[in-house]
Amino acid sequence: MNLSIVATLYQSAAYVAEFHERVSAAARSLVGDDYEIILVNDGSPDNSLELAVRLTEQDPHVVVVDLSRNFGHHKAMMTGLAQAKGQRVFLIDSDLEEEPEWLVDFTGQMEREHCDVVYGVQESRKGNWFERWSGQWFYRFFKGLTGLALPENVVTTRLMTRRYVDALLQHQEREVFMAGLWHTTGFAQHPCVIKKHSTSETTYTLRRKMSLLVNSVTSFSNAPLVSIFYVGVSISLFAMVYIAYLVTHWLFLAKPMSGWTSVMASIWLLGGMIISFIGIVGIYLSKIFSETKQRPYTIVRQIYAQRQD
């Protein structure tokens, strides 16, 4: 198999037919008939699965992987990559915000630059000012805590060689953060500047974005745990200096000190910090708990395809 195209389906019913038509045309222009299109249904609540299964009946190149429920975009992508057999794998979202025709451009760049990955980078991040600002803040915050300088404003679309995909699939995390895994897998990765369209509403709510932030940092850095130690040392040093001040004041000045406000402030400050630190430790313990159980990160209910190889 020369080329595999992998896409996920979630509320994608309005785009499935056009996506299939456009990506098939791009694939045929490059490799003729030697390609496959893998569509992973990530528990979509609409009729995306039904439409995709119809495509398998009409086009032998289409393979539909139906997951048993919604596991999340990143885990669905990893499942699709695991099913891909091509020497090159083109990963893309199916909502047409990312153009299927980029496959041709990415292939040309990969052949010119002899790299293992060509990935899309937006000219400018889409969305309102808050989404753009929060996106920049996320990358800086992530780099500060992990030391990993992730490429900013990357999109899902990327063309990868077989050896890169095989290396990527060696990661066995249950809590998958794709941007981090793409970066840490290494190999020669080159960007391609693209313009992403806005055809649908994002399904990433503020809650999901915050969850992604916590997961990404705790998956790639132990900095929050280390910072607890340093904050504790700093508080201890401050406390010793303050105790020395109080003793000196009592010995030489002999003036009564009210102290109630400072005591209450200290109790609230230290109480809040202790609870926060326990929460940080709890997050890491929960990840250890999740990893040690070794549950599969997705479960495939059924695979629909004409080809059985």
**Residue 231 has what pLDDT?**
72
Q: What is the CB-side half-sphere exposure of residue 253 using CA atoms within 13 A?
A: 9
Other residues' Cβ atoms within 10 Å of the Cβ of residue 227: 13
Same domain, 115 and 229: no
What pLDDT shows up at residue 196?
Answer: 77
Same domain, 48 and 182: yes
In a domain, 45, yes or no: yes
pTM exceeds cut of 0.85: no
Q: Does a structural domain hold residue 11?
A: yes
Contact in structure between 71 and 298 (CB atoms under 8 Å): yes
Of 184, 201, 128, 188, the closest CA to residue 160 belongs to 188
pLDDT of 165: 94
What residue numbers bound the domain in which 165 lies? 3-205+296-305
Q: Give every CB contact of residue 161 below 8 A, 6+ residues apart in sequence.
A: 87, 88, 89, 110, 116, 117, 187
Residues 161 and 229 in one domain: no
79 and 109 part of one domain: yes
- Domain tally, the chain: 2
* pLDDT in the model for residue 167: 93
Cα–Cα distance for residue pair 191/72, rounded to 1 Å: 25
Whether residue 210 is contained in a domain is answered as no
Q: Is 211 contained in some domain?
A: no
Residue 107 CA to its chain's centroid (Å): 24
**Contact of 194 with 98, CB cutoff 8 Å:** yes
Q: Do residues 140 and 73 share a domain?
A: yes
Q: Are residues 169 and 248 in the same domain?
A: no
Within this chain, do residues 163 and 280 fall inside the same structural domain, yes or no? no
- Shared-domain flag, residues 138 and 263: no
**Could you read off the pLDDT tens digit of each residue along the chain, which spans 309 residues?**
899 999 999 988 899 999 999 999 999 999 999 999 999 999 889 899 999 999 999 999 999 999 999 988 888 999 999 999 999 999 999 888 888 999 999 999 999 999 999 999 887 655 555 566 665 666 666 666 666 666 777 888 999 999 999 999 988 777 777 777 888 888 999 998 888 776 555 555 556 666 666 666 666 666 666 677 677 777 767 767 776 776 676 677 655 556 655 675 577 667 767 777 776 777 777 667 666 767 787 889 999 988 655
What amino acid occupies position 27? A
Considering the domain architecture, whether residues 172 and 54 belong to the same structural domain is answered as yes
| Residue 63 C-alpha from the chain's centroid | 24
Helix (H) / strand (E) element for 27: namely helix 16-31
Please report whether residue 218 resides in a domain: no
If asked whether residues 143 and 13 sit together in one domain, one would say yes
